[in-house]
Amino acid sequence: MKTVEKRIRECVSNGKKAFVPYMMAGDGGLDTLHHKLIFLEKCGATAIEIGIPFSDPVADGEVIQQAGERALANGVSLRKVVEELSGIKGKVSVPLILMTYLNPILAFDMKLFIDRCLEIGIGGLIIPDLPLEEDGLLRERLEGTDIALIPLVSLTSSDDRIQDIAVKAEGFIYAVTVNGITGGRDHFGEEVVEHLKRVKAVSPLPVLAGFGISRPSQVEQLGECTDGVIVGSAIVDAFYRDDLESVRSLMNTSDGKFKIGIS
């Protein structure tokens, strides 16, 4: 069992739900990365998803796109993020998950990238534009390591498709809750809840809901039918506005299930 999965299962076994915040590396300066990671860990993050700025982020909504553009304008790249993380190895105890697109990995050199991820202790990779049918080369290189290749399941995925993804999945299943890109939504209908239940029913791994979750009430709603949630745009926007209290509020909902590790 890879560390990311283990941490989520420990959370659930203790009657909690996993909370994975997403942040854009380099938004506000790459030198802020360490402080933001420490803050999110103290707020109770089960793991932390670190976004890598990219020029064509097809899965990202306006808030995360703009954060990526600001980071790119500051000269942030996958290579520089990896270098920055190498300098803070051991200072953050929760698993770190890199969310990047395939091109930056290829430009880095896939073997070298994985070697560097192993050196700095990266716990997972999320690559939205890498389909299941084409992930063999990367998956082979990750065999026997503690790096989980975490897949996304969309609302439009068929039962057979979900089953195929679940068989190969590592770490957890990232169950997408909207048709389209990231960004806050006003509400989630019953079809989303049914989708999450469907994924949960066939997955041997924990299932986390993500995309569009921006309010404590939504964290609670979608957490009820999954093992936890991933929150991105709301966290990114709060960091941009230096509104740390909003981050704390999102990560500590009223039912207490997310109240872990508070400092």
Catalytic residue numbers? 49, 60
3-state SS, residue 210: strand
209, containing H or E segment: strand 207-210
3-state SS, residue 128: coil
The Cα–Cα gap between 62 and 176 comes to 17
**Hunting for tokens 């954060």 — which residue is that?**
67
38, containing H or E segment: helix 33-42
At 75, give phi and psi (nearest 5°): 80, 20
Using an 8 Å Cβ cutoff, are 219 and 184 in contact? Answer: no
Using an 8 Å Cβ cutoff, are 28 and 67 in contact? Answer: no
Distance (Å) of CA 143 to CA 10, 138, 173 = 23, 9, 18
The Cα–Cα gap between 198 and 191 comes to 10
